[in-house]
Amino acid sequence: MMIRFHTLLVLGHLMALSLGLGAALLADWVVLRKLTSGIVSPRAARQLIDLSHAVTAGLVLIWVTGALLMADSAWDAPASITNQKLWAKLVIVAILTLNALLLHGLVLPRVVSRVGQPLFETSFGGLSLISTWFGAVSAVSWTSAAYLGLARELNGHANLMPILGSYLIAVVLTWVAAVILSHLMRYRRLRPGSRDSARDLRDCLMAAQTSGQATGNLS
pTM: 0.77
How many other CB atoms are found less than 10 A from the CB of residue 9?
A: 20
pLDDT of residue 2: 61
- Which positions ≥6 away from 131 have C-beta within 8 Å? 31, 36, 106, 107, 110, 119, 120
Which residue range forms the structural domain that includes residue 129? 5-218
Residue 211 CA to chain centroid, in angstroms?
A: 26
Structural domain total, the chain: 1
pLDDT 10s digit of each residue in the chain, 219 long? Answer: 566 787 888 899 999 989 999 998 888 887 776 555 567 778 878 888 898 889 999 999 999 999 998 888 888 777 777 888 889 999 999 999 999 888 888 778 877 777 777 666 655 556 778 888 888 999 999 999 989 888 888 877 788 899 999 999 999 999 999 888 877 776 666 555 545 444 554 554 454 455 455 445 544
What are 120-127's contacts with CB under 8 Å, separation 24+? 120/36, 122/186, 123/36, 123/37, 123/179, 123/182, 123/183, 123/186, 124/179, 124/183
Determine the 3-state secondary structure of 3 from DSSP: coil
- Tell me, what DSSP letter sits at residue 153? G
**Quick one: CA dihedral 171, 80, 149, 63, positive or negative?**
negative
